[in-house]
């Protein structure tokens, strides 16, 4: 069964010259609404929605720190490229 994900992105200049901004994907079926990702995001990219789940509110602010995905206890957040491939932070072994 394919999961449907909320995605957010906006064209613009990436943090590193020539690099693409990742798409922030939140899998609502997995999100329990704890708000950890919202609390740890240094640029307030994410917000809690009326459904008490995290939503991408300001994707253009994303600095690719990966704190949201790393802190999510339910693995409900992924950063992907436009083809849906996982984007890894430099230094990640996984």
Instruction: State the first-to-last Cα distance of the chain, in angstroms, to the nearest integer.
Output: 24
- 65, with CB counted inside 10 A (0-12, 13-18, 19+), is middle
Instruction: For 4-50, write each residue's pLDDT tens digit.
Output: 455 554 333 344 544 556 689 999 999 999 999 999 999 999 999 99
Domain boundaries defined on the chain:
6-10+22-80
C-alpha to C-alpha distance for 37 and 34, rounded to whole angstroms: 8
Q: With bands split at pLDDT 50, 70 and 90, how would you rate the model's confidence at 85?
A: confident
Q: Which fold has domain 6-10+22-80?
A: Alpha-Beta Plaits (3.30.70)
Whole-prediction pTM: 0.70
Pairing relation of β-strands 77-80 and 46-48? unpaired
Closest CA to 87 of 4, 15, 12, 2: 15
Please determine, for residue 77, whether its predicted confidence score (pLDDT) is greater than 60: yes
């Amino acid at each position: 069964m394919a999961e449907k994900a909320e995605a957010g992105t906006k064209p613009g200049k990436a943090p590193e010259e020539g690099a693409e901004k990742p798409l922030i994907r939140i899998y609502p079926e997995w999100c329990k609404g704890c708000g950890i990702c919202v609390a740890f995001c240094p640029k307030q990219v994410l917000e809690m929605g009326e459904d008490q789940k995290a939503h991408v509110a300001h994707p253009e602010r994303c600095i690719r720190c990966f704190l949201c995905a790393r802190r999510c206890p339910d693995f409900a957040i992924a950063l992907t490229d436009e083809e849906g491939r996982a984007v890894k932070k430099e230094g990640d072994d996984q």
